[in-house]
């Protein structure tokens, strides 16, 4: 948006500053900080639109003094948040009600799947802005060294919907069957994460830990296969990034991956509720070099359809078009 000469900025609470500065050290987008949520209204007065990006921040837009005839309030919905909160908890209720918190709230999602589930569950309609990724960073590069077939997975023990147990079991089975013919790398959590230490780890693999975006791109550039055995994905950004770098991917059938992944054309789509189906898809990619190469090449071509500029333009259209 800023490249389009739009004064887009990020706003957050002051206590998040160390986290934001560490996680987005390479960002050129200005970040504003306030001590408390009520002070957001003073800053919002100087803008044309304010966009929440999480359910708890929707309530920050309960402005008392601003003219809402001018200011647009939006909500960039990244999932169906009640799914990962304890049913009936205050946070669960807050998340459920966030979609309809204000009558003028303009809701946006990245995929049709996310739009449909929000509509079905809450009644709120959303504009679909489409999937996107940073194709300047995530792109094919020449491999630095000849390696065994490298298989990569993101493992986050604290996020059960990503199926960390299933992922590690399947990787372990691959390690036992193919031994030194396959190199396995996982990332996404600390090596000493208590949840990770409880997973199946009795096989050779490399734990890369938490990675920056640049490090993820470098890892994908040196990889052949990326697997996502999540129970569902609202979009599946990491798989898109792997595809853009030239990896063949496996993605879950449930969720929004159908917005960019097409079975046996640029990816393998599997029913991740079936461990046998996941195992079969993974072994197929390992054994079938022509298939793997074809998926890799087509994936690189296809994800170029989703530059961030397109999604940014769609966000602007959604925010400033009539209700």
Q: Quick: pLDDT tens for 258-313.
A: 999 999 999 999 999 999 999 999 999 999 999 999 999 999 999 999 999 999 99
Q: What is the pLDDT of residue 23?
A: 80
Cβ atoms of 178 and 204 within 8 Å: the answer is no
Is there a common fold for 2-132+307-320 and 149-303? yes
Burial degree of 5 (CB within 10 A; 0-12, 13-18, 19+): exposed
Cβ-based neighbour number of residue 156 at 10 Å: 19
Q: Quick: pLDDT tens for 122-143.
A: 999 999 999 999 999 999 998 8
Give the chain's mean pLDDT: 94
Q: Quick: pLDDT tens for 262-275.
A: 999 999 999 999 99
Where exactly are the structural domains of the chain? Answer: 2-132+307-320, 149-303
CA distances from 147 to 143, 183, 206, 240, 247 (A): 9, 8, 14, 23, 14
Nearest to 244 by CA among 149, 150, 142, 140: 140
Can you tell me the distance from the alpha carbon of 153 to that of 281, in angstroms, rounded to the nearest whole number? 14
In 135-274, which residue ranges form alpha helices assigned H by DSSP?
164-178, 194-197, 213-221, 237-245
* DSSP structure string for 241-263: HHHHHT-EEEEESSBGGGGT--B
Instruction: Look at 83-87, 118-122, 143-147 and tell me which has the smallest mean pLDDT.
Output: 143-147
What is the fold, at CATH topology level, of the domain defined by 2-132+307-320? Rossmann fold (3.40.50)
Q: What is the pLDDT of residue 64?
A: 84
Cβ atoms of 182 and 147 within 8 Å: the answer is no
What is the fold, at CATH topology level, of the domain defined by 149-303? Rossmann fold (3.40.50)
Q: Say if pTM beats, i.e. exceeds, 0.95.
A: no
What's the token pair of residue 295?
A: 């998926």
């Amino acid at each position: 948006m800023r490249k389009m000469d739009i004064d887009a900025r990020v706003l957050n609470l002051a206590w998040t500053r160390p986290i934001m500065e560490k996680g987005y050290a390479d960002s050129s987008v200005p970040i504003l900080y306030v001590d408390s949520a009520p002070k957001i209204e003073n800053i919002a007065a100087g803008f044309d639109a304010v966009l929440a990006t999480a359910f708890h921040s929707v309530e920050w837009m309960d402005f008392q003094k601003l003219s809402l005839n001018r200011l647009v309030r939006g909500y960039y919905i990244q999932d169906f948040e009640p799914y990962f909160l304890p049913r009936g908890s205050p946070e669960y209720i807050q998340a459920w009600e966030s979609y309809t918190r204000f009558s003028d709230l303009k809701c946006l999602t990245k995929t049709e799947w996310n739009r449909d589930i929000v509509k079905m569950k809450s009644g709120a309609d959303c504009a679909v802005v489409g999937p996107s990724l940073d194709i300047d960073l995530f792109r094919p590069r020449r491999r630095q060294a000849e390696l065994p077939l490298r298989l990569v997975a993101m493992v986050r023990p604290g996020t059960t919907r990503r199926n960390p147990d299933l992922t590690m079991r399947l990787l372990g089975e691959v390690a036992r069957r193919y031994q030194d013919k396959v190199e396995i790398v996982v990332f996404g959590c600390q090596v000493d994460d208590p949840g990770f230490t409880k997973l199946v780890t009795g096989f050779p693999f490399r734990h890369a830990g938490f990675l920056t975006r640049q490090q993820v791109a470098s890892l994908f550039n040196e990889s052949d296969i990326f697997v996502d055995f999540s129970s569902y994905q609202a979009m599946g950004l990491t798989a898109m990034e792997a595809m853009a770098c030239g990896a063949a991917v496996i993605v879950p059938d449930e969720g929004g991956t159908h917005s960019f992944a097409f079975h046996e054309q640029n990816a393998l789509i599997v029913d991740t509720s079936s461990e046998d189906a996941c195992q079969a898809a993974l072994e197929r990619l390992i054994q079938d070099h022509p298939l793997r190469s074809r998926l890799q090449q087509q994936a690189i071509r296809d994800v170029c359809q989703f530059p961030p500029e397109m999604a940014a333009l769609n966000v602007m259209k959604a925010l400033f078009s009539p209700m």
